[in-house]
Amino acid sequence: MNEEPKSASRDDQLFLSVFQASPIGIALEDLEGRPLFVNPALCSMLGFSEEEMRNKHCVEFSPPEDAEKDWALFEQLRAGSIDRYQPAKRFFRRDGSLIWGRLSISLMGSGPSRLVVAMVEDLSENKTGQDELLHSEAKDEKLAGRLIQAQEEERTKIARELHRYIDSLTVLAIDLDRFGQQAPESLAEASQQIGEARQQVKDIASDIQVLWRLLHSSTLKYLGLAAAAASFCKELSIREKVNIDFHCEDIPKELPKEISVCLYRVLQEALENGIKHGRARNFEVSLRGESSEIQLTVRDWGVGFDPDEDMNGPRLGLTSMQERLKLVDGKLYIESQAKQGATIHARVPLKT
């Protein structure tokens, strides 16, 4: 006859021992959300005594925006719509600071004697890492969006250039058609018109060649990085009427394609940005090979800039260089100040 009460007493004692010894914070609450019992782990986690916690309502332990979401779920639990929920939320400590915790809520018992079991796992250290990861992912998404935007702008620029060449060719075709329908009155006039048409064709071909080399360097493919870099510096100095002092030493001709393309694009970007944004007219380019790496340095004497501001600003020059170098385990170093020019250093390791 007395066996059942003894068993129940042992179960109660066991439950109480587990409740007190648990490393996870636990509270038993009534259906109104008021703590009835709180274990030492939860008191230690939040810094309140058990008596202080019993004098609070569950919504008082969190900022309003977190408490509002929690209470909406709590009401669904009371109504029977759900039987448990498990949100991550912030909790106030006694000193006013906040920690992140994983809250697990479920019902215990049945009928009017039901109780709410609230378990809280401290996520403060993990949450810091999660916040950093989310920040990093948001930054990557923003960067990806900016790079896509840059690609679209580059395609628009190429389309505009091609449209200009098509217009020139259309005008030339009309002139030649008119020439065929109405011959010039003299041989000298005919020779002049043919000469003008020939020059127009040469100019258009030259412009298309420049655009082609910007998109794809056959010199890079067949003669290597050193020859392609020297050729680009010479062509750019003539086209933009700037001075580019180019030095090159010990660059292997048989470099991996990805390294050659990367450094060639970084060189293009650095020089064109220096002309466009830095308004520089004088440059010094150094391309040097060592046993373990290739080093590219582009220095200008333009207006300079703030590297941190440029990395986070609307322009994508430095960001584009940095992302390219990451693909070959390279590094980008920048030295610049306003009105004192800029120096771009790129270093790419040579892997055996």
Radius of gyration of the chain (CA): 36
In percent, the amount of the chain with pLDDT more than 70 equals 79
- Three-class DSSP category at 47: coil
The answer to whether residue 86 is domain-embedded is: yes
Residue 33, sorted as left (phi over 0), alpha (psi -120 to 50) or beta, turns out to be left
The answer to whether residue 171 is domain-embedded is: no
Spell out the residues 6+ positions from residue 238 whose beta carbon is closer than 8 angstroms to its own: none
**Is the pTM higher than 0.75?**
no
Could you give the CA distance from residue 54 to residue 27 in angstroms, rounded to a whole number? 10
Cα dihedral: 56, 59, 62, 66 (round 10): 180
The pLDDT score that the predictor gives to residue 143 is 54
The pLDDT score that the predictor gives to residue 199 is 82
The pLDDT score that the predictor gives to residue 295 is 94
100 and 223 in a single domain? The answer is: no
Number of structural domains (the chain) is: 2
The pLDDT score that the predictor gives to residue 144 is 56
**Helix or strand (DSSP H, E) at 128:** helix 124-181
What residue type is 314 in one-letter code? P
The pLDDT score that the predictor gives to residue 146 is 58
The answer to whether residue 13 is domain-embedded is: no
The pLDDT score that the predictor gives to residue 233 is 93
Per DSSP, helices labelled H in 22-123 are 40-46, 50-54, 64-79
Q: Residue 208 is encoded by which pair of tokens?
A: 């298309």
Could you give the CA distance from residue 39 to residue 33 in angstroms, rounded to a whole number? 16
The answer to whether residue 162 is domain-embedded is: no
Could you give the CA distance from residue 76 to residue 73 in angstroms, rounded to a whole number? 5
Residue 283, sorted as left (phi over 0), alpha (psi -120 to 50) or beta, turns out to be beta
Comparing C-alpha atoms, which of 331, 306, 318, 308 is closest to residue 273? 318
- DSSP secondary structure, 220-233, as one string: HHHH-HHHHHHHHH
The CATH number of whichever domain residue 44 belongs to comes to 3.30.450.20
The answer to whether residue 264 is domain-embedded is: yes
User: Over the stretch 40-54, which tens digit does the pLDDT of each residue have?
Assistant: 999 999 999 999 999
**Helix or strand (DSSP H, E) at 349:** strand 342-349
What residue type is 144 in one-letter code? A
The pLDDT score that the predictor gives to residue 76 is 86
**What stretches in the chain show pLDDT beneath 70?**
1-9, 11-12, 111-112, 125-155, 157-159, 209-218, 308-317, 352
Residue 163 pairs in a beta bridge with none
The answer to whether residue 197 is domain-embedded is: no
**Which is it for the CA torsion 121, 125, 128, 134, positive or negative?**
negative
The answer to whether residue 170 is domain-embedded is: no
Comparing C-alpha atoms, which of 332, 324, 322, 344 is closest to residue 258? 324
Q: Distance between alpha carbon 340 and the CA centroid of its chain, in Å?
A: 29
Q: How far apart are the first and last CA of the chain?
A: 83
Q: Where is the domain boundary, 60, 87, 122?
A: 122
Q: Which domain holds residue 226?
A: 216-352
Q: Where is the domain boundary, 74, 96, 122?
A: 122
User: Over the stretch 269-295, which tens digit does the pLDDT of each residue have?
Assistant: 899 889 988 889 999 999 999 888 999
The pLDDT score that the predictor gives to residue 230 is 92
Count of CB atoms situated within 10 Å of the CB of 113: 7
Q: Where is the domain boundary, 100, 122, 144?
A: 122
224 and 338 in a single domain? The answer is: yes
The answer to whether residue 56 is domain-embedded is: yes
Could you give the CA distance from residue 83 to residue 135 in angstroms, rounded to a whole number? 34
The CATH number of whichever domain residue 324 belongs to comes to 3.30.565.10
